[in-house]
Structure 1
Amino acid sequence: MRPPLLRRLGRLLVSALLAATACTFALPSPASAAGGLTQVTGFGSNPGNLAMYTYVPDGLPRSAPVVVAMHGCAQSANDYYANSGWTTMADRYKFAVVFPQTSAANNSLSCFTWFDPADTGRGKGEVASVVSMVDKAAQLYGSDRARVYVTGLSAGGGMTANLLAAYPDVFAGGAVDSGLPAQCATSQTGASGCQYGSLNLTPAQWGDKVRAQNPGYAGPWPRVAIWQGTSDYTVYPVNATELRDQWTNVWGLSQTPSSTTTLPGSTTLTSYDDAGGEPAVQLYQISGMGHGLAVDPGTGEEQCGKSAAYFLDTICSSYYTAHFWGLDGAGTGPGDGDALPAPAGLKAGTPTATSVPLSWSAVAGAASYHVYRGGTRVGTPSGTSFTDSALTAGTSYTWTVAAVDNTGKEGARSAPVTASTTGGGTPATCVTANNYAHVAAGRAHVSGGYTYTNGGNQNMGLYNVFITHTLRQTGPDSWELADGAC
C-alpha cells in the first residue's frame, strides 16, 4: 500500500521530497536575497531553466575551489545560503559557492527533477545548466577546475548524484544529503519506488547506472559523502545503503567498511578507502534524524548552519564534508595540494573525415599533457597541440586535456570541447527510447537481464521501460550510445 502522504498528493506530487507546506512557497527575487548572495545572469547555456546565485568570501584567492550547493524541494538558493553552513566554510577555507535555483515553472514544488532523463543525462537539461554555472564561476573567479564539488539536499541530493554520474570529469567530489542514488528513477511514477523502498539491485547493477551515463569513462571518480537520518520517512534510509553500494562499486571497492567512527550528534561514520588508503566513499548515518540537512548552530570549530524547516540540529554536515573533500587543506581529494591547474583555451581546429586537431594554452610547470576523448586517454603530447586521428567520418567527439608535472602527477582537466569529423554521407540516425522499446525495434538485445546495443554491445542498463537512452546508428545493424551527443 502506498504511504498516506503519497496517496494524498497523487502522481503530480510524487517528486516532492519535502513537506507539502511548500505549495504556497514563493521564491525570492534577486533584490530580496541576503546581502552576500548575488545573482549571476547570462551564465551560458541554460537548457534546464535554472537561476544561478553565488557567494564569494572576502579575500578569495585565484585557483580556489568551487562548491555547488543545491537546495531541496520547496526551498530556494537563499534558504540554502542562509541555513546550510556552507558560507561559514567558504569564509573559513576560502572557496566560492554556487547556489543553483529551480522554480515552480520547472516543477510544481520547486524540486530539481532528479527523476527525469531530460534533466539528468550528460549535456541535457538541469545538469547541463549546473555545469554552465561551474564554467561561469571558473571564468569569474579563476577557480581551480580540479577542485569543483557538488552537494545537495533531498531532490538536490538526487540531482547531485546524477551530476556526479554524468560529469565525473567535472566534479572531484560530491555529498548527497538525504538523497537518492544516481539514475534511481527515470520517471515520476518510478520516483516513489526510490523514495519509499528498495529497488533490490546489486552493487554492480547500481554501479552500472553510473557507468552508463558516460560510457568509456575510466576515472578518476569523484569522492562521495552520503548523509542520512535513520528516521527519515520521506527518503527512506535504504537509499543511503544503495548510494554506498553504487559508489563503492564504481570505485571498485568492497562494501565492507575500512573503518567505523562515532561522531557528535549520534552519528556513525563508515569509510571505504581507496587503494592508497584515502577515503573514497563515506557514509554518515545519524540516529533518530528525520528528513533534512544536518546542521549544528554555534561558533565552535565543528559547528555551522541554522535550524529551520529541513535544517536539523544534529551535526554540522558541511564541516565534515569540507574536511572529507580536503577543502581545509587536508588534501584528501584528487587535484588538491600542488596539482597543476586545468589548461585554458582548449580549441578544435579544422576537422577532416578522420582527424581533428586540438590546441590549448601552456600550463606553467607542465612536463606533458594527457588528452582525453570521451574520458579515454588518447595522447600524451609534450607540447600544447595534438591531432586525434583514426576517427569515424561524420561523428561528434568530445575532448578534455590535463597537464602533467615532472613526477607524473596529473592536474585538473580542462573544460571540454566538442567537434565533428566531416563526411559520413547521410547524417546518422538517432533514436531516443526506453530500453524495452530499443529491444523491440531491433536496436538492442537482452542478456542476463541487461540491455546491450546491437553491434557495439554497450551496456544500457536493466531491461525495462524506466531506463531511457539515445542510440545512434553506426551500421546496418549496429548502434552506439549517444546520450547528449545527437
Structure 2
Amino acid sequence: MSFSKFSMIPPHLEEAMKLMKSGQLQEATNLIQKNLSGAAPASHTDEKTIKDVTPDIASDVPTLQDRLTPTPTDKPTSTDKLSSKLPNHLQDLTDKMKNFKLDLPTVMNVSTLRTGFNTHNEPTIPDNAQFLKGTLKSSQGNHDYRLYIPSNYTKAVEEGLHLPLIVMLHGCTQSPEDFAAGTRMNELAEEHRCLIVYPSQPASANQNRCWNWFKPTDQRQGQGEPAWLAALTQSIIKDYAVDSSRVYIAGLSAGAAMAVIMAEAYPELYAAIGVHSGLAYRSATDLPSALMTMRQGGAATPKRTGSSKFVPTIVFHGDQDHTVSIRNGGQIFEQAEQHLQAQETGLTTHQHKQCSEQNCRSTQLEIRDSKGVSQLEYWKIHGAGHSWAGGSSAGSYTDPKGPDASKEMLRFFLNH
C-alpha cells in the first residue's frame, strides 16, 4: 500500500512509518499509541498478551451477504473517538494505525498469545508410527521439517500402495510439533493412511516464524518460500511411497495465506488446498498493506494473475476473528469462485447449516461441478475467533467446539 495519497501527515505518523520500514516495529507502535492517547503506553501492560479488537468494517464482503448469514458488528469502542478530532484526510490512516500495538510484533498475530506455552512439545504417536526430523537442502537454503509416517505405512508399501501426502503450514509463533498436536492431523493420518509433512519456518526468515505471504518475492513460482516448499513436497514424493496425484496443502493464518500462494504458483503439484483463517492471493504486497488487509480485508477481491489450473479449495473462517478479519475469508472464496467459473460449466451452489438444539455453529457454501463433486467450500464458523476449529487444547490457537476442520479438510482432500 502506498501512503503517498495522504498529504500533511503529522510528524509522529511519518516517523512511525520510517520506523516500520526499518524494522523497528515496537518503537513505531509506542510512538503511534503515545500520540493518539496523549500519553505513553501504560507501563503495566503485558506485551506478551495480545487482545482482539474488532475492526470497524462490515462483517463480510457484499457479494456473500445474501448467501451467508450476516454477523452483527460491534459498537465502536471509546478509543474510536480519539481520531475524530483529526483532519478528514487523516481519519482513515489513523483508524488503521491506532491499534498497531496489537499487530506489529508478529505481522500475522493470533488471537491470544499463551504466556509460557511451549510450542515444541512432542505430540503422542502410536506404536510403529514415526515423527521424523529432517532438513531439506535446496537452492533456497537449508530448511527443517517434521514428517509423520503412520504405523501402517510399511504394510501399505508391502501391498504396493502409494499414499496421500498432506503439507501442513503452521501459523505465526507456532512450530510443526505444536501444529500437529493442535490439529490432530496425525491421528487422521493413521485412520486414512496418509503421510503428513510439517515444514518449519525459522525465526531467521521471520522473527515470529510467520510465512512471508505479503512479500512479492514469496508470492511466485521458482523463488523464495514457495520454491523451497515445492522442493520439499517433491522430495517427499520421491523418497516415499506417495501418490503424486493426491498431494494436498493446508495452513492456518499466515500458513493458510501461503497455502493459497502455493496453489497459484504450483497448481499442478497440489490436488486441493485447505485455508483456515487466511488471506487471498496477493491481497498484500508489503508490511503496511498486510496489516491493513488483516484488519479489514483487501480494498477489493484481488484478481488472479494467470490462467493456471483451478485447485479445489476448502475455506474456514470464524466470524468473530479480530486478528484476520472474516472479510478475508470471503475474498478467498470469491477469488476461487471466479477462477472456477472461468474454467468450469454446469456448476451448482448449495448452502448448508450445522446446527445443534442451542444454535447454528456454522454455515457452509458449496460449489459442485457437473458431476456433483464439491470443488469449493466456505465454512463460516459463528462465534469463532482466530483459531483452528475442532482442534485440541494440546496445541495453541485451537477451538475445541468445532466443526472439526481437520476432519472436513481430509474428507474434502480425499475426494480429489
Distance of aligned partners of 1:116 and 1:288 in 2 relative to their CA distance in 1, 3 Å threshold: same
Aligned-partner residue type, residue 272 of structure 1: I
Aligned-partner residue type, residue 368 of structure 2: D
Question: What stretches of structure 2 of length at least 5 have no aligned partner?
Answer: 1-93
Q: Which residue of structure 1 aligns with residue 149 of structure 2? A: 56
Q: Residue 128 of structure 1: SS of its match in structure 2?
A: helix
CA displacement at 1:33 relative to structure 2: 7.1
Identity %: 23
Aligned-partner residue type, residue 39 of structure 1: K
Distance of aligned partners of 1:258 and 1:33 in 2 relative to their CA distance in 1, 3 Å threshold: closer
- Given that 1:68 and 1:97 are in contact with CA atoms closer than 8 Å, whether structure 2 keeps it comes out as yes
Following the alignment from structure 2 to structure 1, what is the Cα–Cα distance between the partners of residues 234 and 340? 26
Distance of aligned partners of 1:10 and 1:225 in 2 relative to their CA distance in 1, 3 Å threshold: closer
Distance of aligned partners of 1:249 and 1:48 in 2 relative to their CA distance in 1, 3 Å threshold: farther
Q: Which has the higher contact order (CA 8 A, sep 6+)?
A: 2
Match of 1:309 among 396, 403, 409: 396
Distance of aligned partners of 1:9 and 1:235 in 2 relative to their CA distance in 1, 3 Å threshold: closer
Following the alignment from structure 2 to structure 1, what is the Cα–Cα distance between the partners of residues 260 and 203? 22
1:440-468 superposed Cα distances (whole Å, 9 cap, x missing partner)? xxxxxxxxxxxxxxxxxxxxxxxxxxxxx
Aligned-partner residue type, residue 333 of structure 2: R
Q: Which residue of structure 1 aligns with residue 408 of structure 2? A: 320
Q: Which residue of structure 1 aligns with residue 365 of structure 2? A: 270
CA displacement at 1:47 relative to structure 2: 1.5
Q: Which residue of structure 1 aligns with residue 257 of structure 2? A: 158
Distance of aligned partners of 1:112 and 1:49 in 2 relative to their CA distance in 1, 3 Å threshold: farther
Distance of aligned partners of 1:149 and 1:48 in 2 relative to their CA distance in 1, 3 Å threshold: farther
1:234 matched to 2:323: yes
CA displacement at 1:5 relative to structure 2: 7.8
Following the alignment from structure 2 to structure 1, what is the Cα–Cα distance between the partners of residues 102 and 266? 33
Following the alignment from structure 1 to structure 2, what is the Cα–Cα distance between the partners of residues 284 and 78? 26
- Given that 2:249 and 2:274 are in contact with CA atoms closer than 8 Å, whether structure 1 keeps it comes out as yes
Following the alignment from structure 1 to structure 2, what is the Cα–Cα distance between the partners of residues 186 and 48? 23
CA displacement at 1:27 relative to structure 2: 6.3
Following the alignment from structure 1 to structure 2, what is the Cα–Cα distance between the partners of residues 193 and 9? 12
Following the alignment from structure 1 to structure 2, what is the Cα–Cα distance between the partners of residues 182 and 261? 26
Distance of aligned partners of 1:9 and 1:228 in 2 relative to their CA distance in 1, 3 Å threshold: closer
Q: Residue 37 of structure 1: SS of its match in structure 2?
A: strand
TM-score, normalised on structure 1?
0.58
1:181-215 superposed Cα distances (whole Å, 9 cap, x missing partner)? 1111111111012101132325xxx3424x2xxxx
Distance of aligned partners of 1:141 and 1:194 in 2 relative to their CA distance in 1, 3 Å threshold: same
Following the alignment from structure 2 to structure 1, what is the Cα–Cα distance between the partners of residues 325 and 377? 18
1:275-424 to 2 correspondences below 5 Å: 275-295=370-390, 305-306=392-393, 308-313=395-400, 314-326=402-414, 332-333=415-416
- Given that 1:102 and 1:112 are in contact with CA atoms closer than 8 Å, whether structure 2 keeps it comes out as yes
1:110 matched to 2:198: no
- Given that 1:22 and 1:109 are in contact with CA atoms closer than 8 Å, whether structure 2 keeps it comes out as no
- Given that 2:353 and 2:363 are in contact with CA atoms closer than 8 Å, whether structure 1 keeps it comes out as yes
- Given that 2:123 and 2:180 are in contact with CA atoms closer than 8 Å, whether structure 1 keeps it comes out as no
Q: Residue 152 of structure 2: SS of its match in structure 1?
A: coil
Following the alignment from structure 1 to structure 2, what is the Cα–Cα distance between the partners of residues 257 and 2? 40
CA displacement at 1:20 relative to structure 2: 7.0
Q: Which residue of structure 2 aligns with residue 39 of structure 1? A: 133
1:139 matched to 2:238: yes
Q: Which residue of structure 1 aligns with residue 341 of structure 2? A: 252
Aligned-partner residue type, residue 372 of structure 2: G
Distance of aligned partners of 1:240 and 1:49 in 2 relative to their CA distance in 1, 3 Å threshold: farther
Following the alignment from structure 1 to structure 2, what is the Cα–Cα distance between the partners of residues 7 and 135? 39
Aligned-partner residue type, residue 323 of structure 1: R
Aligned-partner residue type, residue 155 of structure 1: A
Q: Which has the higher strand share?
A: 1
1:406-454 superposed Cα distances (whole Å, 9 cap, x missing partner)? xxxxxxxxxxxxxxxxxxxxxxxxxxxxxxxxxxxxxxxxxxxxxxxxx
Q: Which has the higher helix share?
A: 2
CA displacement at 1:121 relative to structure 2: 1.1
1:208 matched to 2:304: yes
- Given that 1:85 and 1:316 are in contact with CA atoms closer than 8 Å, whether structure 2 keeps it comes out as no
1:224 matched to 2:313: yes
CA displacement at 1:54 relative to structure 2: 0.5
Question: What stretches of structure 1 of length at least 5 have no aligned partner?
Answer: 297-304, 327-331, 334-486
